Chains A and B, each alone.
Chain A
Amino acid sequence: QKEVEQNSGPLSVPEGAIASLNCTYSDRVSQSFFWYRQYSGKSPELIMSIYSNGDKEDGRFTAQLNKASQYVSLLIRDSQPSDSATYLCAGPYKSGGTSYGKLTFGQGTILTVHP
């Protein structure tokens, strides 16, 4: 089992709608999670980080962390065609019993926002 999993297939939403992206993780003690956006042919860029249970909002983006259920989500309000990209969820990568400073990534979810 991957430490961080994104099992949903491609997501298509109309412009102006809310896009909801989800991610689950296997290590109950993981503390911090990140959402990266990757445009086609480009490198990933960090858009949100979340370290505590609950919601964190930044403009049109809201990250949610639910430690009891071990999932992380990203909501994009008022979706725009420019939001069309692959979204990668990332969490701590454990090796040798420590996860300090390294990330493991989910498979990614392709989001398409159509006009």
Chain B
Amino acid sequence: DADVTQTPRNRITKTGKRIMLECSQTKGHDRMYWYRQDPGLGLRLIYYSFDVKDINKGEISDGYSVSRQAQAKFSLSLESAIPNQTALYFCATSDPSPSYTFGSGTRLTVV
């Protein structure tokens, strides 16, 4: 099994719909992150969490929310999806170094 698992792998949704992307990890790391990747823009940080009770906004948190259900689980929600949220989303975990382990990504298309 992968160290960091993201579900779903691909999703097409309609504008205005609520959608949740899930991430679980078996690395035992306290730190978890959500990034989105757009062509030519690299990876941009959406939210991060350093433990279950710690949630912080990143560079581009508007339109997103997160939930840290347990040390191993970190979910990203789009409350009302819009087309410019079409992107590749990555979850990552790290130790304090920070050496990241990424999930396989979720390709989200909002139509």
Contacts and interface: CB of A to CB of B under 8 A. Distances in A.
A95 B102 contact: no
Given A101-B96, A103-B98, A104-B59, A43 B41 contact: no
Interface in B53-111: 56-59, 90, 94, 96-100, 102-105
Interface string A76-100: 0000000000001000010100000
Contacts of A6: 42
Chain B: interface size category: 20 to 34
Contact size range, A: 20 to 34
B105 A104 contact: no
A107 B40 contact: yes
B100 A103 contact: yes
B99 A105 contact: no
Contact of A107 (B41, B45, B58, B97): B41
Nearest to A4: B42
A105 B104 CA distance: 18
Interface stretch (A14-22, A44-52, A56-64): A44-52
B42 A108 contact: yes
Interface of A: 6, 34, 36, 42-46, 49, 88, 93, 95, 101-108
